[in-house]
Structure 1
Amino acid sequence: MYYYLYTLSGHEHYEYAYGYSRQSPLGPYTWPEQDIILTTDKEAKIYVLLQLPAPCRITK
């Protein structure tokens, strides 16, 4: 699986969204409706994980 992570905003208010492809790093990509996975908490000066997308699995 190939993931494409991109930035939607800047100036200390970053939002990161993603798309993914099961075929190739060149696509075709699927763009989920709920694609924002990280955002900046400007007051706390940290990045917060909002949600883990369904096709993504964390393994150790």
Structure 2
Amino acid sequence: MFPKWVGYFLYIGSLGYLGGTITFFLIGFVPAYVEAFTMGELIWVLWITIIGAKEIQK
């Protein structure tokens, strides 16, 4: 349904959210470089908006 590289960016984005949460609880703020990892979801949103998902053929 989606290219593998979109999935990899989503995985990196999820690690960005996890890292941001852990960093916030440990030091009280989240540096900008940790927040940058959450940009992986932007690629997924653009992919869905512009190209769309392919239907699975039976």
If the length of structure 2 is used for normalisation, what is the TM-score?
0.27
The one of the two structures with greater contact order (alpha-carbon pairs below 8 A, sep at least 6) is: 2
Q: Could you say which structure has the higher helix fraction?
A: 2
TM-score by length of 1: 0.27
